Structure 1
Amino acid sequence: MWKNHPKALPYLFLSEMWERFGYYLMIGIFTLYLKDVEAGFAMTEKEASDLYGTFIALVFLTPFIGGLVADRYLGYRKSIVIGGLMMGVGYFMMGIHSLPMLYTAMTLVIVGNGFFKPNISTLLGNFYSKEEYLDKKDEGYNIFYMGINIGAFICNFFGAALQILLGWHYAFMAAGIGMFIGVIVFLLGTKHYAGYDHKKGTQEGDMSFLRIVLFILLPSVIFGIIGWFLKGTTSDANPASYIFGSDSTDAFVFACIPIIFFYGSLYFKAKEQDKRPIGALLSIFAVVILFWAVFKLNGSALTTWADRYTDREVTGTTEKVFSTLVQSKEITYEKASTELYDAKFRLQKENGEVVKVDDYPIYFRNVSKEKLPQEGSKISVWATNLSQSINPGWVIILTPLVVAFFTFLRTRKKEPSTPTKIAFGLLISALSVLIMVAAVHIGNNGTEKVSVWWLVANYGVITIGELFLSPMGLSVVSKLSPKNITALMMGGWFLSTSIGNKLSGVLASMWDTYDDKANFFWVNFCLLMFATLIMFALVKNLNKVMREKGIN
């Protein structure tokens, strides 16, 4: 796999693998931890989804400033190490049961990711600027992307085992250890980064850091505060008079305005030869927001689907295997408590109250009568967060096939351009949502649990879309960005991811408002189809820009 690629690739691959091990272990249990009434914070679905959406949005917003600082002042290597250490400490603190500590830990992860994420991707791209590696860039990013998903796949097994055996804190500690291993691996490859890690400094026409603080970051904070306190129209459906759904969402949307304005100004102030490439990137950034809005439901709405609506019971040999690996737990069927929960749930729904009962939705409340065990008997179920390993599992399986497919087309000079790949990625992702629409109908709108294979199929299809889009996005930023702002434009890619992530939290927070869950997924389908149509409309012009740059 490493043949004909830069010698630094294995180190960057493994560093990113361990970093993603920590991040996805943490994110896989995050909403479950928030909603846990005994050892967590007893949050409602809406509260947990809103905090989750804000968190992952900010995690992908800070690469904007992290990329800029690395470009001008620190260089990539120092930024990556600083970011990794901050994230590792944040993960260790996250399991301490205190809201102030939780928010402090989240802040460390948010800032640390800002230093780590854009700069390791940009450093990788620098190695493919050499003539001998130019035509290998897409393949290199696909390999790098597989490293991300190996970490994301294995982490949930550790997270489930540690949470079941020892508790939430030890699971978060494992995330921190994974992050520190990633930093160590990165440092071991230092000798291979020589000549590719130089900081570019401030170029002619660039804004000074002071001006960025005064004219971007400070306005962003001020706009965020305005968004927090500014109120919209009060109604029965919106008694708190939020503008976009919650105080945190309002603040985030307003805070993004100065940053979006800054990226738009890059186009108008750019040199003539840089205008079209920057414009092409900005249009791609805008379109992929909707992809991330739906894709990132894996940590919220789709985790809820796995928890409440998926048949997670394991029996026979499967039960023995899961018990051995400590990723299953026994639960007892108590008819009275199930009926009590159901009554509370219905009563709160009928009165229009926020649904917040004393515990998670009891597993047996939507098990068909013929499958209910005897009163007082126990069954084994696999841990909910293991559903988070389905998507990265598919990535590991499908990445070699997708790489081989595009290599086959390349040898016949029929490989589609990077923008075309992104357009098809959006279309395939839209089709994946139809699987969940079918799953809702099979389960009679949640009155019966459905097979986990519906989730597996959904993740399988959207993973193909992801492989057509996400690594291609990293690649196209590296290809089209003017050299003096490469990391800054990589931060722009993550800014679009950030906005999409926040929109994902907004979508997930409305889960309980949909009586027919199929309508929730139909909304997601329409969003992705809208993005698909726009992207295909842009492809011709984007391909022209790529040809002007002499790249595909």
Structure 2
Amino acid sequence: MSQTIDTGAVPDYPQLLGHPRPLWMLFMTEFWERFAFYSVSWALALYVVAQFYHGDPAGQGWASGIFGAYTALIYATGIFGGYVADKVIGYQRSILIGAAVMAAGLFTIMLPSKPMFLLGLALVIVGDGLFKPNISSMVGQLYGKDDPRRDRGFTLFYMGINAGAFVAPLFTGWLAAHFTDTPMQQNYKLVFAAAGIGMVLSLLWFWIGRRGLRGVGRPAPGAESRLRVVWVLAGTALAVPVVYGLLSKIGPDGLQWLLGLLFVGVAAMLVVEAVRHDRVQLHRVIAMLIIFAFNVLFWMFYFQLGTSFNFLAQNLVDRQMFGGWEFPVGWFQSVSPLAIIVLAPLVTLVWAGLDRRRMEPSIPRKFGFGLLFNALGFAVLTYALSSLLDPRGLIPFWPLTLCYVLQTVGELCLSPIGLSMVTKLAPPRLVGLAMGGWFLSLAVGGNLSGLLAGRISGESGMTAASALSGFTFSFWLLAGAGVVLLLVAPLINRLMHGVR
């Protein structure tokens, strides 16, 4: 917990393009971290099938489970990272340690044995837990609590996330396709090497630029001792084998129970802290937790991009372009971040224009729209799989592309808004923990996504029939949840007591 949070004081930063200058440093730090993360994300499940199953589609189930567990733990560890920053060493030191551990893990997953691969994933997970929630929390600390630019600052920061996510599949997908004289599993290792270099750049960018923060994110008074850093490093060293065990032993089904218990624990801590304040703070925490539950559903289906959508693109989509050139599988995952880069400024202008007319949708309504747009993406895929299969059993290129765009519109309705929501609704002394709770809701959705993708692939790999069944289920559940949230939005708005 930094002194800035305690006092509510915000340094008088120099401004750049209408926002505090440090926002742009955090923007680029997050850009390189997301470059690393999304480089791994698009290649991970495909690499598992190629390296450990020699390309056999029967490996899709285990690959999906590992991807889901990896994604879940990436976000779940944010709870502990947020608490470490709040209570132990501050945000800046947490980010630096996390970046270093992540870089080590990204280089480790290049090693060809399954145990070393899982060890590398464990390092990435633990490091990202220290990094991800805390850099997001620092964005909120650059603005006063009632600064109207806060939501727009988070949306710009979210563009940094998606700029990294856009470049990563294009560049590393080109790497994987360019080295054609080597087996694909070797090419995927080049992807992981590029991700490791990107994480080193993120670490250096923050190390050099952190002075411009003017003390924001530093340890609280009385917590400056470097001995605390030593204890955090020791805890990190102990956490890595624990996460390794979760990946290799407990499996996604057991992990789902563990994540559920963790979510209940975080919710209880936030409620207890809110009770110490007043009834208004308690109501705001309850509203935040309700939205977290709907957030789980959004990401359960959105994270199909790393598993079932990848297998769909690889095996059931006609990717032949002009002149016989084949569109790389990984490049599909640049569609969403490109759409965000294009659409995020427009969405920001729309929200600002509606706000001037007192017509801007409330936070829960924006989340409801997000769920409905996600559902529309699956509606397009179910139409293609039921009506557009060619004699080779392939669907056209455009439905998967359009699905990504529609999901992106949904993401813009809720994800950057969610980050800002946490900083406005959370108890002031536990903003980092609440941000960890936000990422825990993504974790639960991520693990469920792996379980769903494993069921779609089954024991012998994805087929058009199994994909149609799974995506139809996805559409109906998302559409139903979106309608329910729109209906209960007035109740949630009352619980938020004026926060918009």
TM-score (norm 1): 0.77
Q: Distance in 2 between matches of 1:406 and 1:12?
A: 23
Confirm whether residue 386 of structure 1 aligns to residue 331 of structure 2: yes
Q: 1:100 aligns with which of 106, 111, 115?
A: 115
> Which letter does structure 1 place at the counterpart of 2:90?
G
> Which letter does structure 2 place at the counterpart of 1:412?
R
The size of the alignment, in residue pairs, is 455
- Corresponding residue for residue 261 of structure 1: 264
1:375-394 Cα deviation digits (max 9, x unpaired): xxxx5422211111111111
Contact 2:308–2:457 (8 Å) recurs in 1 = no
Shift of 1:413: 2.2
Shift of 1:264: 3.2
Change (3 A) 1:452 1:61: same
Q: Distance in 2 between matches of 1:101 and 1:40?
A: 18
1:15-50 Cα deviation digits (max 9, x unpaired): 111110011011111111111158968661111111
Contact 1:200–1:484 (8 Å) recurs in 2 = no
Equivalent residues in 2 for 1:134-283, closer than 5 Å = 134-166=147-179, 167-199=187-219, 248-266=251-269, 268-269=271-272, 270-271=275-276, 272-273=278-279, 274-283=281-290
- Corresponding residue for residue 17 of structure 1: 31
Change (3 A) 1:41 1:197: farther
Equivalent residues in 2 for 1:64-463, closer than 5 Å = 64-129=79-144, 131=146, 134-166=147-179, 167-199=187-219, 248-266=251-269, 268-269=271-272, 270-271=275-276, 272-273=278-279, 274-316=281-323, 379-444=324-389, 447-463=392-408
> Which letter does structure 1 place at the counterpart of 2:191?
A
> 3-state SS of the aligned residue for 2:144?
coil
1:269-302 Cα deviation digits (max 9, x unpaired): 2323421111111111111101000000011111
1:456-506 Cα deviation digits (max 9, x unpaired): 111111111100011111110011111100000000000010000000001
Q: Distance in 2 between matches of 1:37 and 1:198?
A: 43
Contact 1:73–1:201 (8 Å) recurs in 2 = no
> 3-state SS of the aligned residue for 1:381?
coil
**Which has a greater percent of helix?**
2
> 3-state SS of the aligned residue for 2:83?
helix
Q: What stretches of structure 1 of length at least 5 have no aligned partner? A: 204-209, 211-216, 230-246, 317-378
Change (3 A) 1:29 1:137: same
- Corresponding residue for residue 54 of structure 1: 69
Change (3 A) 1:402 1:512: same
Higher relative contact order (CA 8 A, sep 6+): 2
Sequence identity (%): 34
Q: More displaced, 518-527 or 60-69?
A: 518-527
> 3-state SS of the aligned residue for 2:192?
helix
Shift of 1:267: 5.0
Equivalent residues in 2 for 1:535-550, closer than 5 Å = 535-546=485-496, 548=497, 550=498
- Corresponding residue for residue 551 of structure 1: 499
> Which letter does structure 1 place at the counterpart of 2:397?
V
The CA RMSD over aligned residues, in Å, is 2.8
Confirm whether residue 497 of structure 1 aligns to residue 497 of structure 2: no
Change (3 A) 1:200 1:251: farther
Change (3 A) 1:503 1:130: closer
Confirm whether residue 8 of structure 1 aligns to residue 22 of structure 2: yes
Contact 2:270–2:430 (8 Å) recurs in 1 = no
Shift of 1:263: 2.2
Q: What stretches of structure 2 of length at least 5 have no aligned partner? A: 1-14, 180-186, 224-230, 232-237
Q: Distance in 1 between matches of 2:248 and 2:253?
A: 6
Equivalent residues in 2 for 1:32-47, closer than 5 Å = 32-36=46-50, 44-47=59-62
Shift of 1:424: 1.4
Q: More displaced, 255-264 or 405-414?
A: 255-264
Higher Cα Rg: structure 1 or 2? 1
Q: Distance in 2 between matches of 1:299 and 1:268?
A: 34
Change (3 A) 1:516 1:85: closer
Q: Distance in 2 between matches of 1:188 and 1:298?
A: 34
> 3-state SS of the aligned residue for 1:479?
helix
- Corresponding residue for residue 333 of structure 1: none
> Which letter does structure 2 place at the counterpart of 1:68?
Y
> Which letter does structure 2 place at the counterpart of 1:4?
G
Shift of 1:179: 1.0
> 3-state SS of the aligned residue for 2:446?
helix
Shift of 1:545: 3.1
Contact 2:457–2:466 (8 Å) recurs in 1 = no
> Which letter does structure 1 place at the counterpart of 2:297?
L
TM-score (norm 2): 0.85
Contact 2:287–2:492 (8 Å) recurs in 1 = yes
